């Protein structure tokens, strides 16, 4: 049985369908990429799965994690899952961390919430997690405030926080978009390595098909709230069935090719 199963997920905001009858499954340890341009509904899909869609949104359909329903749960019902079984890494590491809380405390917050760790144990665990995401000088970074870290370091903190409780499913919502290209590659490598090590299933959301193809097995292509194409990543990139997928691929090639020529 699949770990996450989404059936006919629909999100309406102010009468507009931003996600329109989306269905897909993520297997245990499976890695699925969701590709689409901005406004295609991919982020809203992710937020709806974890119950964080904005108050103005009406969510319908069915979302199941390991067979148990997620939609329609109350705040508490979701709170026990978030951070422990499903975790999210957000797009912009500059704003995704609380500016007035030390990084270590933020990283260990899921552990304190779900594993009931004491403050001291949590602090030690935070340092270990910093080390795990390959942050330099973990003791110092755990005591730092977010504004004292670089963008790449902050995103590593975000990943450490998300993976703190070893969730079964990690949703990564364009985690590298706000980073520059070299840092992007490092963070991607780290993310895929950790996901494999922990056996965490991955739902990776991006607009960049080339970037995603390195970390996922299957992809969904979304446009205007619906799925236009799906399949194993190699098949989709080699022989895109839908014009839109072809356009996305061309766009990715066009932006990456000149860079390669410069290097050569």
State the binding string over 210-249 for other proteins (x if CB under 8 A, else -). ----------------------------------------
Q: Does 114 bind other proteins (CB under 8 A)?
A: yes
Stretch near other proteins under the rule CB under 8 A, chosen from 25-33, 157-165, 209-217, 246-254: 157-165
Q: Is 55 in the site for other proteins (CB under 8 A)?
A: yes
Q: Using the rule CB under 8 A, is 88 a contact of other proteins? A: yes
The answer to whether residue 79 forms part of the interface with other proteins (CB under 8 A) is yes
User: Which listed residue (98, 150, 193, 255) binds other proteins by CB under 8 A?
Assistant: 98
Which region among 16-24, 62-70, 85-93, 218-226 touches other proteins (by CB under 8 A)? 85-93
Q: Which is nearer to other proteins, 53 or 188 (CB)?
A: 53
44 is a site residue for other proteins (CB under 8 A)? no
Nearest distance from C-beta of residue 43 to other proteins, angstroms: 11
Longest CA–CA separation in the chain, Å = 55
Residue 251 interacts with other proteins (CB under 8 A)? no
SS (H, E, C) the chain: CCCEEEEEEEEEECCEEEEEEEEEEECCCCEEEEECCCCCCHHHHHHHHCCCCCCCEEEEEEEEECCEECCCCCHHHHHCCECCCEEEECCCCCCCCCCCCCHHHHHHHHHHHHCCCCHHHHHHHHHHHHHHCCCCCHHHHHHCCHHHCCHHHHHHHHHHHHHCCCCCEEEEECCCCCCCHHHHHHHHHHHHHHHHHHCCEEEEEECCHHHHHCCCCEEEEEECCEEEEEEEHHHHHHCCCCHHHHHHHHHHHHHHHHHHHHHC
For other proteins, the closer of residues 82 and 230 by Cβ is 82
Determine the distance from the C-alpha atom of residue 161 to the mean position of all C-alpha atoms in its chain, rounded to a whole number. 12
C-beta neighbour count of 88 within 10 angstroms: 24
Query: Using CA atoms, how far apart are residues 26 and 35, in angstroms rounded to an integer?
Result: 15
From 22-30, 63-71, 88-96, 194-202, give the range in contact with other proteins by CB under 8 A: 88-96
Among 17, 21, 145, 166, binds other proteins (CB under 8 A): 145
* 59 vs 252 by CB, closer to other proteins: 59
Which residue in the set 101, 196, 234, 257 belongs to the binding site for other proteins (CB under 8 A)? Answer: 101
Contact 128, 210 (CB under 8 A): no
Structure-token pair, residue 195: 């996901």
- Select from 8, 38, 66, 80 the one that contacts other proteins (CB under 8 A): 80
* 75 touches other proteins by CB under 8 A: yes
- Residue numbers of the site for other proteins (CB under 8 A)? 50, 52, 55, 75-76, 79-84, 87-88, 90-92, 95-101, 106, 109-110, 113-114, 145, 147, 158, 161-162
């Amino acid at each position: 049985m699949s770990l996450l199963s989404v059936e006919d997920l629909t999100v309406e905001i102010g009468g507009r369908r931003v996600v329109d009858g989306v269905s897909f499954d993520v297997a245990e340890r499976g890695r699925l990429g969701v590709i689409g341009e901005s406004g295609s509904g991919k982020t809203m899909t992710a937020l709806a799965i974890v119950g964080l869609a904005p108050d103005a949104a009406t969510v319908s359909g069915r979302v199941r994690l390991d067979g148990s329903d997620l939609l329609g749960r109350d705040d508490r019902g979701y709170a026990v899952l978030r951070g422990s079984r499903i975790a999210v890494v957000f797009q912009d590491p500059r704003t995704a961390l609380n500016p007035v809380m030390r990084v270590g405390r933020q990283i260990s917050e899921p552990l304190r919430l779900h594993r009931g760790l004491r403050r001291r144990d949590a602090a030690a665990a935070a340092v270990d997690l910093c080390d795990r995401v390959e942050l330099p000088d973990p003791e110092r970074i755990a005591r730092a405030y977010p504004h004292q870290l670089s963008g790449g370091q902050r995103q590593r903190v975000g990943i450490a926080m998300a993976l703190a409780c070893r969730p079964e499913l990690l949703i990564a919502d364009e985690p590298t978009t706000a980073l520059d290209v070299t840092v992007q590659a490092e963070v991607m490598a780290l993310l895929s390595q950790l996901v494999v090590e922990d056996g965490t299933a991955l739902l990776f959301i991006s607009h960049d098909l080339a970037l995603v193809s390195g970390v996922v097995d299957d992809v969904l292509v979304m446009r205007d709230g619906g799925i236009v194409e799906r399949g194993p990543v190699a098949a989709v990139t080699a022989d895109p069935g839908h014009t839109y997928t072809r356009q996305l691929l061309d766009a990715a090639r066009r932006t990456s090719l000149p860079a390669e020529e410069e290097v050569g």
